[in-house]
Amino acid sequence: MRSRIAICFGGLAVVCLAPVAAAQIGDIPRTPSGRPDLSGTYDVATLTPMQRPTELGEKMFLTEEEAAAIEAGEAAALASIFNYDPAVNTEASDPNRGAPPVGGDGSSGAAGNVGGYNTVYFDRGSAAFQIDGQWRTSILIDPTNGRYPPRTEERIAAQRAAAAARSGGGGRPRQNDGTAYWLEAGLGAPGPFDNMEQRGFAERCLLGFGSTAGPPMLSVLYNNHKRIVQGEDTIMIQIEMNHDARIIRMNAEHDPPEIRKWLGDSIGHWEGDTLVVETTNFRDRPSFTQGSRNMTVIERFRMESADKLIYSFTVEDPTVWTAPFTGEYAWPRSDNKVFEYACHEANYSFGGIMRGARLLEAEFRGEELEGVPNPTR
C-alpha cells in the first residue's frame, strides 16, 4: 500500500549540504544561526536513470531535444503499459463500474493484472533533471561512463550461491508457476513462504523499496517526497514511503559497531554552508540492498537556489565493488504535503500470500483444500 500526495551501508555514509557557487548569499533561506535552511518538502522523482545507457558512453549531458524525448517517452510508456490512449482517456473513471472478470481482462493494466497498480499510483517523474542548467544522462557521474564499477569476486560468488539456493541448485531462481514447487525436494521441504519473516522488508512494510530511504536516497516508482526538519542539534529526513525517518545527530560520536540499524547511524557537522553527515553501522541487509554491512556512503546536498537542492552521494563498499562510485541529482522543493503512509494497516495481500502458499502445498500433497488453517505456520 502507499500513501497519496494530493493530485522507486554495514559501513559508513555521509550527507553533505553545500552551497552552489551561482547562488548569492541572499538567495537561499537561512536559519537564525546563519546556516542554510534546508527545512521543507522535496519531490525527488526523476526519469533520469541511475546508470547511463551504455550507448551514450561518457556523454554526461542531454540536448534539449533529447530531454524532451525522455519526457514524451514516459507518457507513451505508461499508455502502453496500461493499455490506454492518452488522447481518449481524459475523463475520470466511473466509480460505479463493475469489477474486472476473474483472472483479469487480458490488458496490461490493473484490470489485466487484478490487484496491480494503475497510473494513479505511478509517480516516477515527468522529466529528466537539470543541474546548473544542464540535463544529465544519468544519476551516476563517476566512473565517467556513468555506470557501477565491477563487482568483487567475493560478491559474485555470494550472489551465485544465493541464486543456486533459491533455485534448489539449478543455478537460476525458480519462477512462481502456481505450484508449491519447493515441495519437489520432499513433502516436508522448506519453502520461501514458510514464515512471514522470510519475505522482503518492503513486502512486510518495514522499509521502502528501491533505497528510497537510503542512503543513498534514490527516486523510485512512487512516493518520492522527502521532508527535511532541521534543528541545531538534530536533522530529520522523513521519507514518504513507509514513513521511514533518518535521524542525523550533529557533532556527536557514532554508536559502537555492534549496534546496527536499517538506515545506519548518522552523525553530522557543518563545513561552511555544507552539512556533512557520516552514517555507519548498517545491518546485513541495508536499504540500499546492493550494498553490504561494510558499505560507506557520502551524501552531499548543495543549494543551487532557494527552490532546489542538489543531492550527491559517494558509495564505497570493498565487499561489493572494486571501486567507489558517485552520483548526484536535483531535489526541487514541493508544496505538497506528506500524508500518513498506511501499509501494515491495509496490507491484506500479505495474509493472502501466506494462505495461498498453504493452499498450494495442500494441493501438491493431495490434501483437501477445505479448511486449510491459518495462513502462517
Residue 233 and residue 310 share a domain? yes
Domains identified in the chain, total number: 2
Query: Residue 153 sits in which domain range?
Result: 13-60+137-365
**Coil, strand or helix at 133:** coil
Within the chain, which residues score under 70 in pLDDT? 1-26, 80-93, 100-119, 165-176, 344-347, 370-377
Asked if 243 contacts 1 with a C-beta cutoff of 8 angstroms, the reply is no
Residue 275 and residue 185 share a domain? yes
DSSP 153-196: HHHHHHHHHHHHHHTTSSSSPPP--SS-GGGGG-TT---TTSSG
Residue 277 and residue 306 share a domain? yes
Query: How is residue 212 annotated by DSSP?
Result: S
Residue 126 and residue 146 share a domain? no
The pair phi, psi for residue 162, each rounded to 5°, is: -65, -40
- Residue 52 CA to residue 204 CA, distance in Å, equals 32
- Residue 260 CA to residue 258 CA, distance in Å, equals 6
- Residue ranges of the alpha helices (H) in the chain? 64-81, 153-166, 348-365
Query: Would the pTM count as exceeding 0.95?
Result: no
Residue 188 and residue 228 share a domain? yes
Residue 272 and residue 171 share a domain? yes
Residue 263 and residue 121 share a domain? no
Residue 159 and residue 112 share a domain? no
Q: In sequence order, what are the beta bridge partners of 270?
A: 275
- Residue 258: the pLDDT is 94
Residue 22 and residue 108 share a domain? no
